[in-house]
Amino acid sequence: MKREFLEELKLEKDVIDKIMAENGKDIEKYKSESETLKVTNEQQKTQLEAANEQIESFKSMDVEAIKKSADEYKKKFEEAEKNHKAELDKIAYNSAAEKFIDSLKPKDNLSKSAILAEFAKKEFKLDGDSFQGAKEWAEQFKKDNAAHFADGKDDTTPVSSGGEHSNPLDGDVDKFVAAAMKGAGIKEDKK
């Protein structure tokens, strides 16, 4: 669903925002479920192919070689299961992190990427559906970086008579831009 469609229906901005937020929650939920199913399917396909190869190799083996091969396969299977669980945990963690950052109402996608990058540096532990210590961090982070949140202060400042734009964030802008670039996967061009 696109915002323009709802605007054409002449709905009020706050109604459109609520509809878009709810739609976004549904999309994220199904996106996460889809990723989980995709990873699970790929893992099962890989395991099936490995099992079929093992079965074919058993045809020409003696009993001792089969036992040894079965033990090796068991170890490989356990390692694959461990890796699979780690990958699913990572998907769940990233999905929960995005949901948490979205709940803070970042001003735009660039701000969201930068905030996610800063959040990732903290390596909060996911406990069920929430992150330990993240709420406290978020409160302070929003205070320190209010201009990057939809419910924060307006980041526009008046132009002085000299024509220069005063920046209330002073040196923090460079840090924010660097974090945003890092979060977006853009390397800084050093000259």
DSSP, residue by residue, 65-101:
HHHHHHHHHHHHHHHHHHHHHHHHHHHHHHHHHHHHH
pLDDT at 173: 60
**Shortest CA distance to 145 belongs to which of 119, 121, 111?**
111
Mean pLDDT by 10 residues, the chain (191 residues): 83 87 84 88 90 80 78 89 89 88 90 90 88 90 88 54 48 68 68 48
User: What residues does 131 pair with on adjacent strands?
Assistant: 126
pLDDT recorded at residue 159: 44
Q: Where are the beta strands (DSSP E) in 98-158?
A: 126-127, 130-131
Beta bridge partners of 159: 165
Q: What does the pLDDT read at residue 153?
A: 61
Give the predicted TM-score (pTM) of the model: 0.49
Residue 115: CB atoms within 10 Å: 27
